[in-house]
Amino acid sequence: METEFADLIPLFVEEARDRLERLATHVPRLETDPQSAVEVKRELHTLKGAGRMMRIGALAELCHAAEEVLHAARPGMIALLTRVVDELSVLVEAVSRGSEPPVDPELVALLRVNAAEAAAPPAPSPPPPPSIPAPAEASGPAASANGTVGASEAGAPAASAELPEGAPAAPPAPPVPEAAAAPAAPQHTAAPPKSGTISGDVRVDTGALDAVAERATQVRIMAIAGRQVVDRIYDLARLAEEGLHEPQPTQVLAVLATMLRRVAVELEGGQRRLIRSAEDQLEQMLSLQLQPMRGFLLSFARYARELARAVDKEVVVELEGEETRLDRRIARELEEALLHLVRNAVDHGIESPEVREARQKPRAGQVRIQALADGPKVRLVIADDGGGIDIAGVIQQAVAVGMVDGKSAAGMGKAEALRLLFSPGFSTRHQVSEISGRGVGLDVVANVVNRVGGELFVETEARRGTKFIVEVPVARRGESVMLLRVGQLKIALPASVVRRATRLDAGSVVERDGRTLAVFPERLVPFVPLSRLYGQAPAERLLLLEGVVSGQPLALAVDDVEGEHEVLVRPITRRVPTDLLLEGVALLASGEPVGVLSPSVLAQAEYLRALPAARPQVVLRRVRVLLVDDSLVTREMERRLLEDAGFHVSAAADAEEALSLLAEESFDCVVTDIEMPRMDGFELAAQLRSMEHFAHLPIIVVSTRDRPEDRLRGLKVGADAYLTKQSLDAGELVDLVRRLSGK
Amino acid sequence: MIGVLLVDDSPSVRAVLRRFFAKTRDIRVVGEAADGAQAVQMVIDLQPQVVVMDLQMPVLDGYAATERIMAVRPTPIVVLTSRANRNQMQTAFEAMRRGALEVLPKPEDTPSWQQLAESLPETVRTVALAQTAPRTARRAHAVRPDALVDSPRELRWVAIGASTGGPAAIRELLDEVPADPPVGFLIVQHIASGFELGFADWLNKEFPFDVRLAQDGEVLRRGMVRLAPGGAHLRLEAGGVLRLDSQTPARRGHRPSVDDLFHSCAECCPRQVAGVLLTGMGADGVEGLLALRKAGGITLVQDEASCVVFGMPRVALEKGAADVALPPRALAQTLIRLWGKGGEP
């Protein structure tokens, strides 16, 4: 590779990945669909051309060798070309990392042997037509390899062990058998693939892109128009200031009110249009995020085959739903988890060829990977026809690690036993040590699936196989949460886990074996009284939420359900010790932050039992501000301003009212005017500072007075800050409140 | 400034091609198309001076795209194709018949890559000068051909030299020749090395004549058409014996050289040979044609109106090396009358 062209590598890699995807799609149909044969030929040829142009010799030569074999039209070609495509993928990924490893010489030799033989047919009788393999040929590798054995023995002994298997049995039905291949020779161990389509660059339809750009321009125009409204509000503010010196201030106020209302109406209309545009914009952006699953599935198939080669198994991979679209952010998050399921299927699901034969199954195991669109959901299925999960073994293990006692183990049903697989205790102690994996147990898979708002199911049958089903939403948008009230606390729960809410009567909760269970007409469900978890007094009105987490029912008691909200959930940075029950923080439309409970953590009975009865610290309390001003207009203005910032605001019309409020509730900050009847702001501040309880309560003075002596006096009596109304900057006030109240 | 449209379904290939032009000051890539249909549209929209096009493409291949481009907005086209495959080469020549002017090989290895990097800009410059639109002659160079025909002679061999635009012109000329002509043809066509064989294959399939690459020592008989293979000068010796010479260096940058062919004709048997110089850039063949004419041979050139590049024929006319300038078919008819004269008695 010349350095001069090094910057073109990403372009080439992107193109090559595309072509390899198409090759992987068409190679299995090579012998049945003439159009696929044409496509394979063309893709190989073009990839070769591109490789030569980029001067990546190894890749071009492998393509070339494959082309020659293609001209030869040999039986067993699908398996051979599948290997070529896999090898090319390895090469392309190497190129993307800036290196160019040599092509597997054995593979090239094998290709040459095949091509050469076709050029000079060994037998006097013409070779059998390659189109559809005869049943005998399809049944096993020995039969179909006939044609090539002789030459390999003579020429390349190493290659003979690698001779292609027969094409998969039946002509492909809609799900197309990818290939059959299982060499005896040791191969590079399969590394989990990084699929090109999920991370990095995305293909976007230019029409869709144009629409987004156009919409963005509209939003910008509307945003700019908002500036005019702001200017008018400033004008009104100036008018109000002048009105202070009028002999009849009430008249000024009346005029102001009318004008403000008009501005508000205008603002409201603009706001509505803006929201509509923003929503359209979001919708379009989301549709851009939806990408076909092709690359994703193909990389899994490739991985399954490589892994099979590495562990000496024979595997046929069937793909379905390459065109199914899924939000690439969801796909990206799921990738590791799904790879784990694929790895399990090949490594532990599928039996060795010998065992399979003994069980009268085809030597090659079948791994089916499907992406099925189902309305707003996508169902990802990873199924194998292997030995199935050993239910008795699972229960035994659970008892051994102390997750289940002997008594409940005896009565444990299949479904319940399978759920044990997803518990953290089980998989960390069992899966990782004994079964392959790289530390990712099924509990982690379940967690990841939950995190993207999906569900994980497993079906298994002894000797027939296992099927993992991952159901995820097709797109990730603002998440829907149920806003709950627990005592004084607001907290949210992902709406997807909530199935129904019912009133809780006295007899609905029972204690059994140290667990709290809710009694439903049909069964007992683990019960979590949130009020107790959060150290709040149990309220009189209890609502029971029945949810399902990882297929496991769960009931929560809360004081009230305040409705469903569309929110953006942000993950919590774990730098500071926070509430372990939370998986994130959601910002409500008002800007108020609320904690979002993690259903999977809640569901972990072990965790719940270990919890102390009361948890002292409340998670995310809003800053509470006491606002003191005798002018209703000023008060309401400042209240809006502070509430918009997410603060909880109580207002008092004079200092006395303020003092009585302070006696009843606790506040984090006081914002007060100076000129008030009876007791002014200076006196209020002085009095608060004299009381031990309020000695450190932050006080911010906001006044029309801006003479230096007033400022000085304010600070002298103990105010922490002094702002003037004339130049009141919303951001400054909010910052001050936040800073002084220490939040 | 020469505006070039790149047409290839591989973005990588386009990117590298773009680099080849990046170093030139006079060539600018004005657009890139990923298939033939896009290419046709972009030729209309962007009006490039030259199209550089792959042949194998989805949607509409290079051959079909050439046809359409020549129909909607005739533009000089350079086709790129693999020379490893004889079928592909046939398509390349079919494209040339439809109006593509040059064919260059897609690289197979480092030397051929280097060669393409060097020859592509040069080829683009050459074809940019080509006249692709149908037009009428601006200057009449034609002498009355009848005058030639009157002089009695025995015509046995026709030597043809051509460069850019040659394959289509040669094909047209041969198309006018009846089956089993009483003469043999020798052809030197400037073409990217490796494509001579494809050119011969193509002509052989088109015509009832025996068209092949010339072999050293072979005797050129009536009805045979022999092309100079790459890298060797083709010469005619007494009695129609063909000689290939890959030792003598290139003459004016060409091996095979048209000059060399015509000189050999002038030396061995001028009165039995007609020299024909067709479309192309430069002046290869002019000296040899002049020598042939002086020695008593008949010399013909392609006329301006039918030439893709009126280069070699123009210089020949200016130097007085040619008797007649005609379009390919008329050249063939003139030759037929000439050998008709000799063959009758």
pLDDT (tens digit, 9 = 90+) per residue, A324-356?
888 888 888 888 888 888 888 888 888 889 989
Q: Does the structure show a pLDDT above 90 at B286? A: yes
How many Å lie between the alpha carbon of A27 and the closest alpha carbon of chain B? 18
Which of A13, A52, A92 is the best substitution to test chain B (most B C-beta atoms within 10 A)?
A52
- Tens-place pLDDT, residues A658-717: 988 888 888 889 999 888 888 889 999 988 888 888 888 889 998 888 787 888 888 888
Lowest mean pLDDT among A120-134, A398-412, A667-681, B80-94: A120-134
**Residues B102-131, mean pLDDT to the nearest whole number:** 86
* Residue A273 contacts B where some CB pair is shorter than 8 Å: no
- State the Cα torsion B167-B168-B170-B176 to the nearest 10°: 150
Whether the predicted pLDDT of A431 surpasses 60: no
Q: Does residue A417 or residue A423 have the better pLDDT?
A: A417
Q: How many residues does chain A have?
A: 743
The minimal CB distance from A49 to the residues B10, B15, B19 is found for B10
Burial class (CB in 10 A: 0-12, 13-18, 19+), B204: middle
pLDDT of residue B29: 92
The pLDDT assigned to A529 comes to 65
Query: Under a CB-based contact definition with an 8 Å cutoff, are residues A166 and A138 in contact?
Result: yes
Residue in B9, B13, B58 nearest the CB of A53:
B13
Cβ-based contacts of B17 with chain A (< 8 Å): 53
First to last CA, chain B: 58
- Over residues A77-87, mean pLDDT: 85
The pLDDT mean for chain A works out to 73
Q: Which two tokens stand for residue A533?
A: 């978890």
Tokens of A722: 């002094």
Confidence of residue A32 (pLDDT cuts 50, 70, 90): confident
Which tokens belong to A625?
Answer: 């501000």
The confidence band for A138, taking pLDDT boundaries of 50, 70 and 90, is very low
Q: Catalytic pick from B163, B257, B264, B306?
A: B163
Interface contact B12, partner A, CB < 8 A: yes
In terms of CA atoms, which chain A residue is nearest residue B117?
A53
Where is average pLDDT lowest: B181-185, B248-252, B255-259? B248-252
pTM beyond 0.90: the answer is no
What is the model's pLDDT at position A182? 39
Give the residue carrying structure tokens 């790149």.
B6
Tell me the nearest-neighbour CA distance from B99 into chain A, angstroms: 24
| Residue A141: pLDDT over 70 | no
Q: A513-564: per-residue pLDDT in tens?
A: 666 666 666 566 666 666 666 666 655 455 555 655 555 666 777 777 777 7
Contacts of B16 in chain A (CB under 8 A): 5, 8, 53-54
A440 compared with A636, residue with greater pLDDT: A636
Mean pLDDT of B59-77: 87
Does residue A616 have a cis peptide bond before it, meaning omega lies within 30 degrees of 0? no
Q: Which two tokens stand for residue A381?
A: 């299925």
Instruction: Round to whole Å and give the CA distance between A713 and A719.
Output: 9
Quick one: which H or E segment has residue B319? none
For residue range A156-207, what is the model confidence (pLDDT) as tens digits? 333 333 334 443 433 433 443 444 443 333 334 455 554 444 445 666 777 7
Q: pLDDT tens, B148-161?
A: 655 656 889 999 99
Return the beta strands (E) in B142-269 as ranges: 157-162, 184-189, 210-213, 224-227, 233-237, 241-245
* Peptide bond between residue B256 and the one before it cis (omega within 30 degrees of 0): yes
Mean pLDDT of A43-61: 85
DSSP β-bridge partners for residue A723: A702
d(CA B1, CA B8): 22
Residue-wise DSSP of A428-447: HHTHHHHS--SS--HHHHHH
A55 close to B (CB below 8 A) = yes
What pLDDT score does B290 carry?
94
Note whether B107 contacts A: Cβ–Cβ < 8 A: yes
Phi-psi label, residue A643: left if phi above 0, alpha if psi -120 to 50, beta otherwise = alpha
Higher pLDDT, A39 or A437: A39
Q: In what order do the strands lie in the sheet with B50-54?
A: B27-33, B2-7, B50-54, B77-81, B102-105
Q: How many CA atoms lie within 13 A of B212 on its CB side?
A: 11
Instruction: Please give the backbone phi and psi of residue A695, each rounded to the nearest 5 degrees, phi first.
Output: -55, -30
Nearest to A12 among B12, B54, B56 (CB): B12
pLDDT (mean) for B96-122: 86
Q: How far apart are CA A590 and CA B221, in angstroms?
A: 97
Average pLDDT over residues A428-452: 58
* pLDDT at residue A528 in the model: 67
As a whole number of angstroms, the distance between CA A478 and CA A662 comes to 38
CA-angle at A736, arms to A733 and A742, nearest 5°: 145
Distance from CA of A48 to the nearest CA of B (A): 9
CB-based contact B189:B199 (threshold 8 Å): yes
User: Residue A495 to residues A282, A326, A500, A549: CA-CA distances in angstroms?
Assistant: 20, 21, 10, 12
Test A45 with B82 for CB contact under 8 angstroms: yes
Contact A70, A206 (CB under 8 A): no
The more confidently predicted of residues A99 and B317 is B317
Report phi then psi at B70, rounded to 5: -65, -25
Does A157 or B332 have the greater pLDDT score?
B332
Of A131 and B203, the one with more pLDDT: B203
Residue A504, token pair as written in the block: 């809780």
Mean pLDDT of A584-602: 72
End-to-end CA distance of chain A: 56
Distance CA B65, CA B57 (A): 10
Cβ-defined contact of B106 to A53 (cutoff 8 Å): yes
Which pLDDT band, with edges at 50, 70 and 90, does A616 fall under? very low
Average pLDDT of chain B to the nearest whole number: 86
Rounded distance between C-alpha atoms, residue A522 and residue A380, angstroms: 31
**CA proximity to A427, closest of A416, A413, A415, A437:** A437
pLDDT tens digits, A356-368: 999 999 988 999 9
CB half-sphere exposure, A153, CA atoms < 13 A: 6
Q: How far apart are CA A89 and CA A80, in angstroms?
A: 14
- State mean pLDDT over B282-306: 92
B83 to chain A, any CB pair closer than 8 A? The answer is no
Does residue A98 carry a pLDDT above 60?
yes
CB proximity B18 to A under 8 Å = no
**Alpha carbon separation from A503 to A484, A581, A741 (Å, rounded):** 14, 24, 39
Q: Which tens digit of pLDDT belongs to each residue from B209-245? A: 899 999 999 999 988 999 999 889 999 998 899 999 9
User: What angle in degrees, to the nearest 10, is found between the helix axes of A77-96 and A9-26?
Assistant: 160
Closest by Cβ to B12, choosing from A15, A42, A57: A15
Between residues A652 and A506, the one the model is more confident about: A652
Q: Can you give the pLDDT at residue B188?
A: 95
Cα distances (Å, whole numbers) of residue B216 to A715, B106, B235, B242, B244: 111, 29, 9, 6, 5
Residue of higher predicted confidence among A499 and B111: B111
Torsion angle, CA of A722/A724/A729/A734, rounded to 10 degrees?
A: 30
* Number of CB atoms found within 10 A of residue A21's CB: 23
**Active site annotation includes B163:** yes
CB of A261 within 8 Å of a chain B CB? The answer is no
In angstroms, what separates the C-alpha of A226 from chain B's closest C-alpha? 41
Rg over CA atoms, chain A: 35
Element (H, E) at A163: none
Determine the Cα angle at A709 with ends A708 and A712, to 5°.
90
Amino acid letter, residue B336: I
What is the C-alpha separation between A624 and B112, in angstroms, rounded?
77
- Inter-chain residue contact A46 with B106, CB threshold 8 Å: no
Nearest CA in chain B to A71: B85
Q: Which of A11, A55, A57 is opposite residue B15, by nearest beta carbon?
A: A11
- B74 in reach of chain A (CB within 8 A): no
Alpha helices by DSSP H, listed for chain B, are 11-22, 36-46, 62-72, 86-97, 110-128, 145-150, 166-175, 196-206, 258-268, 286-294, 312-318, 328-343
